[in-house]
Structure 1
Amino acid sequence: MPRHISEHIGERIAKYRKLRRLTQRELAARAHISYSMLAKVEQGVKPATPAVIAAIARALFVQTVDLTGQPYLAELRQDELDILIQPIREALDLYDLGADPDVLPRTVDELRSEADQLCALIRETRIKDAARALPGLIAEATTAAHTAPSDAAWQVLASTYRTAYDITTKLGYSDLCVVALDRMAWAAERASDPVLAGVRQYLRSIVYLRSGQFDLGRRLVGVGMATLEQADVGRVRDVAVGQLHLGAAMLAARSGDGDTSAEHISLAARISEATGEAVRVHWLSFGPTNVAVHQVATLAEQYKYAEAVQVAEQVRVPDEWPASRAAAHIAEVARAQLWIGRPEASLTSLQRAREIAPQQMRYHPMMRETVTGLVSAHRSTPGTLTGLAHWAGIG
C-alpha cells in the first residue's frame, strides 16, 4: 500500500529530534542551519537539500538513510525489485573464491560488451533489467578473471562492480554500494588501471558527499587526482580529472565554500572544452552539459535557488544525454522552483523527470520530498499531483 503523505523526511527528523530531547532551535543550532528552514522541512512544506539532510543527520547521530527512509521497501516490493537485491549481494561475495567450475565464461570481449550494455541500461534508467542480469555477469566475469588473468579481464570485472554500485545506490542500499566500491578497487588494482582507480575514488567521494562527510570526500578527490597522474595523457584521463573537479565542486558547495566550488566548476569547464561531450568514457557523462548541470546543483546547495533556476533555463540537454542524468537535473530544478514559490513550474518539472526516468525517480529522495512539499503548498490538490504522489508512494 502507498505510504501516508505525513511520512516524509521532515516527520522522521522530528521523530529523531524528540528522541534526542531537542527543540527545533537546539537542533538547528547543532546542525548549523536556520530555525525557519528546519521548521519548514519538518512540516513538509519545503524539501530539504541533501546538505541539510546530512547536517541534521550528523547532529542527530543517525545516518542520512534513517531520515530519507531508504530503501523504500514497499515500493520495491510492488515493482519486484527487492527480490533482485539478494542475488547481487551474494554475487559481490564471490570475488575471492576463484573460478567456479560450473561456469564456462565467454571471451573477454563478449563479457566487456555485456558489461557495457548493463552500463547503458543504467543510463537509460532500466534498473530492473540491469539488476536482473548483473549477478550472472559478475559470476561469469569473476571466473574469467581467475581462469585467465589479464588487465582486460580484471577491467571487465571492475565494470560489473561499478554497475552494482550504480544499482544499489539508486535503490537506496547504501551498505551494498560501499561493498561494491571495495570490490571495484580490488579488481582495478589487479587490472593495473589508474583511471579505473581514479574513477573509483570519485564514486567513493560521492558516498561521503551524501553522508555529509565533506572533509573525507575532499581527501578522496585528492587521492583520485594523484592516482590519475599515473595514467596515460589523453582524453580518457582528462574526462576522469574533469569529473573529479565536479565532485570537488559539490563537496565545496555543500560545506559552504562557494568560492572553491566555483573554482572547480571553472576548471572542469576548461577541461570540457577539450574533451567535448564524453557520455561513454567510463560512463561518467562528462562534458559541457555535465559542467552546466553541476553549476545549477552547486548553486542550489548554497540556497541560491533563484540563481540556480536562472542558470538552468540556459542549459540545453542534448538528446543523446543519459536519461538518468537528465532526470536528476530536472528534479534538482523542480526543488529550486518550489523554494522560490513556483509550485506549478515545479510540478511540470517533476512530471517531466518521471517521464524520462520513471524507475529512477520513483526511488529518488529529492523527487519524493518535492512532491510532499507541493502537496503541502496546494490547498486543493490537482489531479496530476495526486497521481504523482500516489505513484511515488507518499500519498
Structure 2
Amino acid sequence: MGTHVGQALAAERKVAGLDQRQLANRAGYSLSMIKAVEQGREVASPGFIAAVSRVLAIDPDRLLGTPFLDALEEDGPLAGLAELRAVLTEGAYVQPIDPPPDAELARELVAVETALRNDRTRRALAALPELLRKAHGAVQMAADDTARARAYELLCAAYIAAEGACCRLGYSSLTALVLERLDTAATHTPDSAYAVRSLVKRSRLLMAHGSTDVAMSLVDRGIGLVPGDTESERVLRGYAHLRGAIVAARGRRLELARDHIIEARALARRMGHESDLYTTDFGPGNVEVHACAVELEAGDPGKAAHDGAALVLPADMAAPRAGHHWQDNARAWLMAGKYDRALAALNKARAAAPQQTRLHPSVRETVYGIAAAQRRQSDSLLGFAHWIGAGL
C-alpha cells in the first residue's frame, strides 16, 4: 500500500520524541484514535491533521504529502506555477505589464473564474500570472480615483482566484503569500466584499493550522462588515456563515456550527439559485452541503452519510463544490462502515470534478481507508487508486 497520513504521522511523532499516548494527550484525541490513524484503520480528518501537526510543530502538508507531484506530472507540466511564484515573491514590487482596455481585462478575469468554477484549474493557473501583472499595470495607469478603485477590485478578484488555484493543486504554502497581497489590495477598494473574502479565506488557512479561535474571530469580523440587506450583502453574509459553520465544527463546537447553518439557511431561503456573486457559490444547495459537512466534522458521521447521499445537488452548483460534497460523503460512508457506498461516492466526485478529486488529500486517505478495511481489494477500488496515483 502507498504512504498514508498515519505512516507519516508515526514517523514525525518518533522524530519529535513522543509516544502515542503523549501525542494523544497534547492533541486532544484519544489514544485509540492515534493508534487507528497510524495503522490506517481510521481516516485522519482535517481537524485531526491540524491538531497533531500543531503539536508536532510541522506544516500539515508534511503529513498529507501534498502537492501530489507524481499525479501532477502525469498530466504534463504545470504551466504558470513558476511565474506565479515569481509574482508573489516580488510582493509589493511586482513588475506590472501594460493592461488592455478595461473590458478586455475584465473578460480575462471572467475566463479564469469560469475555468475554476468548471474544474479547469490548470487552465486558470496558466493565465493567472499575466492577469495579475496586467491588473497591477491597470492600478498604476489609472487616470483617477474611480478607475484606480475599479482596478483594485479586479486585482483583488485575481488574487482570490490565485488562492483557489493554489489550494486545489496542493500548493497551500503559496496561499499565505496570496493572502498578504489580497489583504493589501482590499484596503484600496471601497467595496467591503473583498475585505470579507480576504478575512474568510484567511480563516480557512488558520483552520488548517488548528487556529480555530482566531479563524472564528475573522469570520465574525467578516459578517460584521456586511450588515445590509442587498442581495450581494446577503450572499457575502451567508458565505461567511458557512465558513463559520466549518470553523466551529473543526473546533468541535457543534452547536455554534449548527447556529451558523441556521443563519445561512435563512439567508439562502430567499434565493432560488446558487449565486456566483464574488465567486462565493452561496445558495440553498451549498447550505445543505455544508450542513452535512458539519455533521461529518463534529456531529454524526452516519447522519452525514445518509443525508449527503440523499441530497439532490442543484444543476447550477459549481463543479468543485459538488465534487467536494461527494468526497465528504465518501469519507462519511467509510466512517459508517459502508465501503461500497464510500467508493460509489468517490466515483460521483470523480464525475463531478475530476481534476480536484485526483489531487485532493481526503480522497487518497479515503481510498487507503477502504483498502485497510477490506480483506480483498475489488477491481473498481484498484482502478480508482491507480487513477489517483495511490498504490494499494
Q: For the Cα contact (< 8 Å) 2:274–2:317, is it kept in 1?
A: no
Shift of 1:129: 0.7
TM-score (norm 2): 0.94
1:175-186 → structure 2 map (5 Å cutoff): 175-186=173-184
Which whole-Å CA distance do the structure 2 matches of 1:42 and 1:92 have between them? 36
CA RMSD between the two structures: 1.7
* Secondary structure of the structure 1 residue equivalent to 2:269: helix
Which whole-Å CA distance do the structure 2 matches of 1:126 and 1:367 have between them? 18
What corresponds to 2:332 in structure 1?
336
* Secondary structure of the structure 2 residue equivalent to 1:292: helix
Aligned AA (1:137): L
Which whole-Å CA distance do the structure 1 matches of 2:89 and 2:63 have between them? 29
Stretch deviating more after TM superposition (158-167 or 310-319): 310-319
Shift of 1:86: 1.1
Query: Unmatched 5+ residue regions in structure 2?
Result: none
Aligned AA (1:208): L
What corresponds to 2:288 in structure 1?
292
Instruction: Indicate yes or no: 2:279 matched with 1:272.
Output: no
Q: For the Cα contact (< 8 Å) 1:279–1:322, is it kept in 2?
A: no
Instruction: Indicate yes or no: 2:207 matched with 1:213.
Output: no
Q: Which has the bigger relative contact order, CA under 8 A and spacing at least 6?
A: 1
Decide whether aligned partners of structure 1 residues 157 and 215 sit closer, same or farther in structure 2, where only a CA change above 3 A counts: same
Equivalent in 119, 129, 143 of residue 125 of structure 1: 119
Query: Unmatched 5+ residue regions in structure 1?
Result: none
Equivalent in 235, 241, 248 of residue 252 of structure 1: 248
Aligned AA (2:174): L
* Secondary structure of the structure 2 residue equivalent to 1:111: helix
1:110-121 → structure 2 map (5 Å cutoff): 110-121=104-115
Which whole-Å CA distance do the structure 1 matches of 2:289 and 2:368 have between them? 24
Aligned AA (1:153): A
Shift of 1:95: 5.7
Equivalent in 108, 126, 136 of residue 130 of structure 2: 136
Aligned AA (2:204): I
Deviation per residue, 1:24-59 (Å, 9 max, x gap): 222112211122222221112221111111111122
Decide whether aligned partners of structure 1 residues 393 and 185 sit closer, same or farther in structure 2, where only a CA change above 3 A counts: same
Deviation per residue, 1:179-222 (Å, 9 max, x gap): 11121222222122211111111111111112211011011112
Deviation per residue, 1:302-350 (Å, 9 max, x gap): 1511111122133210122111000001000000101111000001111
Instruction: Indicate yes or no: 2:201 matched with 1:203.
Output: yes
Instruction: Indicate yes or no: 2:154 matched with 1:169.
Output: no
Shift of 1:235: 0.7
Which whole-Å CA distance do the structure 1 matches of 2:212 and 2:95 have between them? 39
1:77-92 → structure 2 map (5 Å cutoff): 77-82=73-78, 84-92=80-88
Aligned AA (1:9): V
1:368-387 → structure 2 map (5 Å cutoff): 368-387=364-383
Aligned AA (1:25): R
Q: For the Cα contact (< 8 Å) 1:73–1:82, is it kept in 2?
A: no
Q: For the Cα contact (< 8 Å) 2:50–2:209, is it kept in 1?
A: yes
Deviation per residue, 1:85-139 (Å, 9 max, x gap): 1111112345644774xx4321222212221221111111111111111111111
Stretch deviating more after TM superposition (128-137 or 31-40): 31-40
Stretch deviating more after TM superposition (29-38 or 50-59): 29-38
Aligned AA (1:185): D
Shift of 1:388: 1.1
Aligned AA (1:350): L
Stretch deviating more after TM superposition (341-350 or 112-121): 112-121
Aligned length: 387
Q: For the Cα contact (< 8 Å) 1:98–1:146, is it kept in 2?
A: no
Identity of aligned residues (%): 33
Deviation per residue, 1:354-379 (Å, 9 max, x gap): 12211111110110100111111222
Q: For the Cα contact (< 8 Å) 2:112–2:124, is it kept in 1?
A: yes
Which whole-Å CA distance do the structure 2 matches of 1:90 and 1:61 have between them? 28
Decide whether aligned partners of structure 1 residues 365 and 155 sit closer, same or farther in structure 2, where only a CA change above 3 A counts: same
TM-score (norm 1): 0.93
Decide whether aligned partners of structure 1 residues 147 and 266 sit closer, same or farther in structure 2, where only a CA change above 3 A counts: same
Which whole-Å CA distance do the structure 1 matches of 2:183 and 2:329 have between them? 34
Which whole-Å CA distance do the structure 2 matches of 1:62 and 1:98 have between them? 30
Q: Which runs of 4+ in 1 moved over 6 A?
A: none
Which whole-Å CA distance do the structure 1 matches of 2:180 and 2:272 have between them? 31
Decide whether aligned partners of structure 1 residues 355 and 154 sit closer, same or farther in structure 2, where only a CA change above 3 A counts: same
Aligned AA (1:141): A
Decide whether aligned partners of structure 1 residues 97 and 63 sit closer, same or farther in structure 2, where only a CA change above 3 A counts: closer
Q: For the Cα contact (< 8 Å) 1:121–1:129, is it kept in 2?
A: yes
Decide whether aligned partners of structure 1 residues 27 and 99 sit closer, same or farther in structure 2, where only a CA change above 3 A counts: closer
